[in-house]
């Protein structure tokens, strides 16, 4: 019984059957497996057995294998598929996955792949590829069920039976008029509960929530999340239905966007995971670090301008890491709140003002609390009232400024539609570094004669 | 026509109808709205109109209103619902949402709420509350459709018709034996394509992917994401089916876990959003900052131990922010890779060793690159070969150590099953701060006579 076998056992069995050329036995196993499982098994097979295994797969299984496998191995796999079958395989692939694949090949190869496909599918995928990356148009599929307004429940159910196998989602059936405009939606559940002779127009839900093709995928995700939908229709101008986005793609979007936010906050560099090679990971991480190096030099040159002050009161340097560290962190805290909160939130004047005032309040409150604490500790440690005053009053200012920088800069960048990746953690941190050192040494210089 | 109206217009209309006590008109509007929309409209109504609006809602609408509304306002809303209706409303709520609500009230109130409910529903929710937070058992629902093995397609379709309205998902129908053990699954799509007289046992899929009740919700999310399921069955020991988890809850889990990762990396403090009050946000952010203050003092005391060195070569202080800043950031980069990658990945010895070696390689590569750059710049700026050597050789060591600390510490904490929140960004940053200063000043002291 296949259901209790591990991948290793299944691979051993399939490998054995491949050697004996018992392809029927393999299909019996495959029928009990999910596309993801088949992909896992494929990569566990030896290089020699993989092409043989591919031959055993049905066209549809080949299509979903391509979809499931890691991006790096996709092209290699596609090349191993029989050229005569390839068009049919590509026809069966989800358009969004296929668009990704076609993005990676040369124009010649792309042309060759498209030429093997049916006109309908190749037109659809080429249209998809015209939309900007990370928009609704780019992640939608054309595998949905639509019906004309005048259908009855019976006619609808009959149509679903025909399309059940190829539709990506049969949870919602979209109702359109002669101009292909989206007029309503019926859930499968509604159909089950309706009488066969009822008119769709009478049972459909006409306040359909849809998204425009150009909407950012992150916004689409937040709408689906909010409404708990399994799919959402995508419309062009004039409410013309052009596709649907299904919830499984939305989960991928949510993960991708969260990773992007984390990359912004930690300046990790794009998509580094456990399997990324040393060279690639270093190359992706270096740009930020080199930038940091230069910003660190700016901090250094600020300190060097106060060389005299520092030479006279070396104790000032003891508190440098504390002040710049805390200012940097408070900025990152604010940044994280803004970066995560900004999505799906309408950023009108009232919201922005309230947020800035809130963060100002937070900066002041934590600034005052930490300052009092620091004043006491610094006095106990160094025994100088003036030094303690300089250090702790600097901290109040820098924490307020740090909080505001971490709030206002990402808001400003998002308002200016600048790539918010610029507003990443290290930028805020180093900016706050520079500001905090300036404030600290300015205050110290003013009180210098008292410190001596 | 309601479909083209904005929230403001709908609220105005409902408000008007409430004043005229035309409750029928309100229901006509509500029928075209989603639960999320009704919640949005509820909070836009005036305080006086809210109870009246609640009275107009049907029990089911009240239940989903509670589910959709912000946690802070849930309890207030529940208290406004007619006591006689409350049990019925709670019966209709999703168990996972209800469990959350009951977690927030006193034991007395909880008892009172439960007593109004049917035995079946109150038992179910109490059972749910026994599972640990953030596990499969805690986020599952008991609103699924199950059938015995011997059913035919026809019998199954009939059963679905009865349960369609209350089941959370009718995409999959779970097949169980007399011991309630999960034997198979049939998708709704399979039923559509099957003949009415076929036996379920013949068309069902018996290698069911299920999750145990105690599985961490993050792992459940990664399984659903991998397989693109709309729901997944939850089983107790012996494969006994106890519930299902639907994809809409999984999206919430993915968002929640991403936010937790970001909180870890930026030490933001738990759940601060745009609506959090100043006091609350400050209170949540302060603990990390106070901790940072003390760690900053440790850095300070390290510097103070090298006071003599620093007094003799003040220029050493110019490079302090650069070295500690870069070390801190390289550690956060590694941390982000580990924190995001660790989920759903089997962390065996091979994977861990490979990751640590990779990060060592990355640290060495970026360390050497940045050092060469720094050596040149420092020499041009300060004109001292020895100083440039001290600064740049320190950077190689600190970057390697920073990378390794950012990799090994979270791995170790996860291995020791310590709350990984401890391995957050500021911990790594400040630890790297301390290490980098120690290395820097140690090297500087060794070469001190050359620097003078």
ipTM: 0.79
Q: What is the pLDDT of residue B203?
A: 92
Q: How far apart (Å, rounded) are the C-alpha atoms in residues A375 and A389?
A: 6
Q: What is the pLDDT of residue A268?
A: 64
Partner residues linked to A216 by β-bridges = A135
pLDDT band, very low/low/confident/very high, at A264 (cuts 50, 70, 90): confident
CATH superfamily of A146-255: CBS-domain (3.10.580.10)
- Whether pLDDT at A41 is above 60: yes
Three-state DSSP at B285 gives helix
What does the block give as tokens for A202? 């009478």
Report H helices in B35-106. 35-44, 49-56, 59-68, 71-80, 83-92, 95-103
Residue of A nearest to B425 (CA): A266
Partner residues linked to A244 by β-bridges = A141, A233
Chosen for mutation from B252, B274, B341, B435 (greatest number of chain A CBs closer than 10 Å) is B274
Q: How far apart (Å, rounded) are the C-alpha atoms in residues B263 and B283?
A: 15
Of A119, A64, A108, A62, residue with least CA distance to A85: A62
Chain A residues within 8 A of B227 when measuring between CB atoms: 34-36
Three-state DSSP at B388 gives helix
Three-state DSSP at A33 gives coil
Confirm or reject contact between B170 and chain A (CB < 8 A): yes
Chain A residues within 8 A of B429 when measuring between CB atoms: 325, 329
Q: How many residue contacts between A and B have a Cβ separation below 8 Å?
A: 335
Q: How far apart (Å, rounded) are the C-alpha atoms in residues A192 and A198?
A: 12
- Whether pLDDT at B339 is above 90: no
Chain A residues within 8 A of B355 when measuring between CB atoms: 274
Locate tokens 């006994």: which residue? B240
Q: Cβ distance B324 to B436 under 8 Å?
A: yes
Q: Across the interface, do B329 and A226 touch by the CB < 8 Å criterion? A: no
What does the block give as tokens for A102? 């076609």
Residue of B nearest to A279 (CA): B362
Domain B2-139 has CATH 3.30.1490.20: no
Q: What is the pLDDT of residue B421?
A: 56
Q: What is the DSSP letter of B424?
A: -
The phi and psi torsions of A182 (rounded to 5 degrees) equal -75, 115
Q: Cβ distance B439 to B398 under 8 Å?
A: yes
**What angle separates helix A59-68 from helix A83-92, to the nearest 10 degrees?**
70
Q: Which of A227, A289, A355 sits opposite B326 (nearest CB)?
A: A289
Sign of CA dihedral B317, B319, B323, B324: positive
Residue of A nearest to B363 (CA): A282
Q: Which of A120-124, A181-185, B373-377 has the lowest mean pLDDT?
A: A120-124
- Whether pLDDT at B158 is above 80: yes
**Predicted confidence (pLDDT) per residue in B393-411, tens digit:** 999 999 999 999 999 988 8
- Whether pLDDT at B227 is above 60: yes
Measured between its terminal Cα atoms, the distance across chain B in Å is 85
Q: Across the interface, do B255 and A254 touch by the CB < 8 Å criterion? A: yes
- The CATH number of the structural domain formed by A2-133 is 1.25.60.10
pLDDT band, very low/low/confident/very high, at A396 (cuts 50, 70, 90): very high
Distance in Å, alpha carbon of B17 to nearest chain A alpha carbon? 20
pLDDT band, very low/low/confident/very high, at A344 (cuts 50, 70, 90): low
Q: What is the DSSP letter of B45?
A: S
Q: Which of B165, B304, B341 sits opposite A318 (nearest CB)?
A: B304
Query: Domain residue spans in chain B?
Result: 2-139, 146-255, 278-451
Chosen for mutation from B296, B356, B398, B425 (greatest number of chain A CBs closer than 10 Å) is B296
Q: How far apart (Å, rounded) are the C-alpha atoms in residues B168 and A217?
A: 26
**Predicted confidence (pLDDT) per residue in B304-323, tens digit:** 888 888 888 888 889 988 89
Task: Scan residues 330-369 of B and list those with Cβ closer than 8 Å to A.
Answer: 330, 332-333, 335-337, 339-341, 345, 351, 354-355, 358, 361-362, 365-366, 369
- Would the CATH topology of B2-139 be identical to that of B278-451? no
Q: Cβ distance B236 to B212 under 8 Å?
A: yes
pLDDT band, very low/low/confident/very high, at B181 (cuts 50, 70, 90): very high
Q: How far apart (Å, rounded) are the C-alpha atoms in residues B355 and B349?
A: 10
Q: Which of B209, B267, B333 sits opposite A34 (nearest CB)?
A: B209
- Report, as an integer, the average pLDDT of A56-78: 87
CATH number assigned to the domain with residue range B278-451, chosen from the 4 options 3.90.550.10, 1.10.357.20, 3.40.190.170, 3.40.50.1820: 1.10.357.20
**Predicted confidence (pLDDT) per residue in B13-28, tens digit:** 999 999 888 888 888 8
Q: How many CB atoms lie within 10 A of CB B199?
A: 14
Q: Cβ distance A396 to A367 under 8 Å?
A: yes
Q: Across the interface, do B262 and A321 touch by the CB < 8 Å criterion? A: no
Q: Across the interface, do B192 and A170 touch by the CB < 8 Å criterion? A: yes
**Predicted confidence (pLDDT) per residue in B100-130, tens digit:** 888 888 899 899 899 989 998 899 899 888 9
Three-state DSSP at A273 gives coil
């Amino acid at each position: 019984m296949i259901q209790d076998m591990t991948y290793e056992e299944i691979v051993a069995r399939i490998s054995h059957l491949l050697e004996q050329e018992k392809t029927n036995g393999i299909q019996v196993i495959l029928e009990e497996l999910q596309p993801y499982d088949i992909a896992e098994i494929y990569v566990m097979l030896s290089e020699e057995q993989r092409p043989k295994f591919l031959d055993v797969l049905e066209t549809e299984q080949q299509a979903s294998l391509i979809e499931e496998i890691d991006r790096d191995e996709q092209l290699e796999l596609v090349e191993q598929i029989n050229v005569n079958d390839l068009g049919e395989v590509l026809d069966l692939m989800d358009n969004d996955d296929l668009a990704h694949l076609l993005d990676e090949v040369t124009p010649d190869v792309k042309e060759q792949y498209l030429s093997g496909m049916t006109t309908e599918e190749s037109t659809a995928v080429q249209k998809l590829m015209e939309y900007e990356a990370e928009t609704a148009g780019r992640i939608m599929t054309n595998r949905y069920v639509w019906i004309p307004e005048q259908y009855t429940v019976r006619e609808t159910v009959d149509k679903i039976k025909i399309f059940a196998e190829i539709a990506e989602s049969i949870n919602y059936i979209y109702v359109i008029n002669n101009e292909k405009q989206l007029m309503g939606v019926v859930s499968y559940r509604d159909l089950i509960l309706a009488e066969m002779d009822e008119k769709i127009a009478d049972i459909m839900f006409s306040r359909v929530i849809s998204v425009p093709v150009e909407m950012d995928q992150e916004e689409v995700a937040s709408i689906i999340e909010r409404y708990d939908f399994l799919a959402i229709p995508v419309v062009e101008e004039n409410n013309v239905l052009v596709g649907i986005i299904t919830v499984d793609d939305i989960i991928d979007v949510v993960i991708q966007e969260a990773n992007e936010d984390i990359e912004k906050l930690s300046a990790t560099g794009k998509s580094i995971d456990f399997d990324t090679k040393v060279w690639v990971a270093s190359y992706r991480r270096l740009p930020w670090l080199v930038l940091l190096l230069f910003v660190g030099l700016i901090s250094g040159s600020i300190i060097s301008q106060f060389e005299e002050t520092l030479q006279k009161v070396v104790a000032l340097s003891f508190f440098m890491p504390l002040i710049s560290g805390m200012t940097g962190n408070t900025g990152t805290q604010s940044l994280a709140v803004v970066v995560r909160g900004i999505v799906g939130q309408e950023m009108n004047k009232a919201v922005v003002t309230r947020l800035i005032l809130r963060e100002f309040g937070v900066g002041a409150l934590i600034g005052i609390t930490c300052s009092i604490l620091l004043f006491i500790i610094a006095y106990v440690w160094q025994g100088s009232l003036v030094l303690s005053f300089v250090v702790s009053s600097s901290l109040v200012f820098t924490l307020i400024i740090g909080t505001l920088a971490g709030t206002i800069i990402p808001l400003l960048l998002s308002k200016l539609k600048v790539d918010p990746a610029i507003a990443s953690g290290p930028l805020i941190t180093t900016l706050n570094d520079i500001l905090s050192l300036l404030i600290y040494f300015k205050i110290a210089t003013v009180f210098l004669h008292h410190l001596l």
